[in-house]
Amino acid sequence: MARVATARTLGGLLLPALAILIAARVLPSVHVGPGVAAAVVYVGATLCGAIGVALTLRSTDRPLVLAPIGAAVLVAAALVQGGAWLAAPVASALVALAVGLGGSIGLRVQHAGHFLPAAAMAAAADIVSVTASFGPSHAIAESPRALSLLAISFPVPGTHLAAPALGVGDLLFFALALGVARAHALSSVRVGLAGYLGVLLAGLLSAVLAAPIPALPAIGGAIVAFVPETRKVRRVDRTATTIAVGLALLALAWALVRAKMAPP
C-alpha cells in the first residue's frame, strides 16, 4: 500500500510537468487568435495546478515533506537560464510546495467553519497584495523572472513561449481548502470544483476588465457559497469571523477607490 501511495503521489506531482511538456510539443503548430490563445494558457495552467494539487494531496499522508522538495527544485530553477521548458519542472515544484504548506495547514484546521474567516483574511491580503504598489503580488507581476518561478506557466499556442497564469498563493490556498475538506470529511470533489470555478471567474473578470484580478476572493467565495459546511461558524468564532469579513470588505473598498482615482 505504501508503494501504491508513493506512486500516486509522484503521479500527481509529475502530471503538471508532463502536460506542459506535451503542450509545448503540440501547441507551437496551433495558430489561433490572441483571445483563444490567452484562454488556452489560462485554462491549461490552472487545470495543471488544480488537478496536480488534488491528486497529490489525496494520495499522501505526510504532505509537509513535499515542501522542501518543491523549494529545492525552485531554487535550482532560479539558477538556470532556461527557456519555456523550465515551466514543466517549476509547475511540479509549485504543486509540491502548495501541497506541503497549504495542504498541511488545511489538514490541521480544527473546524470546517474556520474556513470562512481564513478565506476572508486571505481575500483581504490578496486584494492588497495585487493592487498596492508595495504588495508582493504586484512586485512579482512586474518581474518576468519572478513570475516564471512563482506562477504556473503554460505554452502559448503558435509560439515556443510559455506565459504565467496561476500564482503560488492561489495554489497554496487551493491546497488549504482541499486539506480542510479531507480533514473534515467534506466532498473533495465539490470543494475542488467550487474552488476551480472561482479561479475561472477571476480569469474571466481579468480578461473582461483587462486588469489583474485577485483570485483568492473568488476561490474562497465560491467554496463558501457551494460548500455549506464552510459557512457553519461556531458561536465562539463569530467575533473573529466578523472582523475578518470586515477587513476583507475594507480591502475591497480601498481597491475600488484606488481604481477610480487612478489616472486613465
The pLDDT tens digits for 15-34 are: 999 999 999 999 999 999 99
Q: 177-189: per-residue pLDDT in tens?
A: 999 999 999 999 9
Residue 102 pLDDT > 80, yes or no? yes
Residue 257 pLDDT > 80, yes or no? no
- pLDDT of 9 reads 85
The answer to whether the CB of 220 falls within 8 A of the CB of 202 is: no
Q: What percent of the chain has pLDDT over 70?
A: 93
Q: 133-157: per-residue pLDDT in tens?
A: 766 776 777 788 888 889 999 999 9
Confidence category of residue 260, pLDDT binned at 50, 70, 90 = low
3-state SS class at 213: coil
Bridge-partner residues for 82, per DSSP?
A: none
For the chain, the domain total comes to 1
- pLDDT of 261 reads 60
Distance CA 190, CA 61 (A): 21
Average pLDDT of every residue of the chain: 88
- pLDDT of 142 reads 78
Which is more confidently placed, 213 or 152? 152
Q: What is the domain extent for residue 134?
A: 2-261
Residues, the chain? 264
3-state SS class at 86: helix
C-alpha torsion sign, points 187, 189, 194, 196: positive
Buried b (16+ CB within 10 A) or exposed e, 104-136: bbbbebebbbbbbbbbbbbbbbbbbbbbbeebb
Residue with cell 507581476: 141
**Which CA distances in Å does 64 have to 38, 60, 70, 71, 175?**
34, 9, 10, 12, 12
- pLDDT of 128 reads 81
Q: How many Å is the Cα radius of gyration of the chain?
A: 18
